[in-house]
Structure 1
């Protein structure tokens, strides 16, 4: 029996709309910030990826709301 790991996506939304996303691929999480072309990561946990995306938004940015998509 072989196991297949599916992908999961969380969309990050702030007061101005969608600001980025987190993608689970295998054992790690990749972060994509809407205004940047390169993905960041991989991060070992979803919580670490959420913190990284929030930090990438810059000083004073509100923590976005994360929803699985």
Structure 2
């Protein structure tokens, strides 16, 4: 029997005004949560899709955020 060790990693997204959201990796995928939100915005199969979903949830016209691993 083998097990998969998935690190629970968090990337914080920074925009011009500070933190805009985060992406958390776990066994389900990549979960996007916007800053100040009560619940996650969604869970996605890849980091790239999660980044695009987070950016799409920002104010229209916002620059691409900077993602930093924590």
TM normalised by structure 2 equals: 0.87
Question: What is the RMSD computed on CA atoms of the aligned residues?
Answer: 1.3
Residue segments in structure 2 that go unaligned for 5+ positions in a row? none
- In 1, the alpha carbon distance for the partners of 2:5 and 2:19 equals 29
Structure 1: stretches of 5+ with no match in the other structure: none
**TM-score of the pair, normalised by structure 1:** 0.88
CA displacement 1:16-60 (0-9 Å, x = unmatched): 011110000114000010032110221010000000000001211
Runs of 4+ in 1 over 6 A off after TM superposition: none
Tell me how many residue pairs correspond in the alignment. Answer: 69
